[in-house]
Amino acid sequence: MKDITGQKFSRLTVIAKDHKDKRGEWFWLCSCDCGNTTIVSGNKLRSGNTKSCGCMQQEHRLAGFNKSHGMTDTRLYNIWLNMKERCKSKTNKYYGQKGISVCKEWEKFPPFAEWALSHGYTDDMTIERVDVNGNYEPQNCKWITAKNQYLNRTDSHYLTAFGKTQTIKEWATETGIAYDTIERRINAYGWTAEDAVGIKSGRNGRNKHEPI
């Protein structure tokens, strides 16, 4: 498997490995230029079959939109639009089906843009809810990098070691071993879960089979 982390394919920048399917094909977590994250197979990225998170199709629908606020073509506008659409979608099990909503204040784009620009928004960040069961509203939202949002997802990968099951992020916090190191030890080097979270890195702690 060729590591394509950091590479860009059209609007998608690869952040990290996500999972491997039954056929052995790797799927990758990607950050879209519009601010969304999406998971795409390596084959579709390399072939160009998938070029965005879906925002390209949305842009076609927006072609005739009234650009009264002058920001329709911005990344921030697409973040706002996608936020509303996933909350209104009755087929989205993480948002619409869970009853997650957008506050009345942010139903219009200008108030949302004003909040975003005054709370640290930059074009390498994406929006996150502090309480994952709460709504999109000023008191419950902040801006973080796309990779940090991936590590905070509620569907993060779980790992069982020493009779305890928790997310890789939680293991990283508990042991002091970097998240990427634990994931790489398991996925790339084939370590057991106990070794992956139990062996410290360093001159005296590194397992002899771990590449330097």
pLDDT band at residue 153 under the 50/70/90 scheme:
low
Residue 79: Cβ-neighbour burial (10 angstroms; 0-12, 13-18, 19+): buried
At residue 64, does pLDDT exceed 60?
A: no
Across 7-11, 65-69, 154-158, the highest mean pLDDT is recorded for 7-11
At residue 204, does pLDDT exceed 70?
A: no
Q: What are phi and psi of 202, to 5 degrees?
A: 125, 175
**58, 18 in Cβ contact below 8 A?**
no
Residue 125: Cβ-neighbour burial (10 angstroms; 0-12, 13-18, 19+): buried
At residue 187, does pLDDT exceed 80?
A: no
pLDDT band at residue 67 under the 50/70/90 scheme:
very low
What is the average per-residue pLDDT within 169-185? 87
At residue 69, does pLDDT exceed 60?
A: no
pLDDT of residue 145: 74
Percent of the chain with pLDDT over 70: 82
pLDDT of residue 202: 47
Using the Cα atoms of residue 45, residue 91, residue 140 and residue 183 in order, give the sign of their dihedral.
negative
Q: What are phi and psi of 53, to 5 degrees?
A: -80, -5
Residue 209 vs residue 126, higher pLDDT = 126
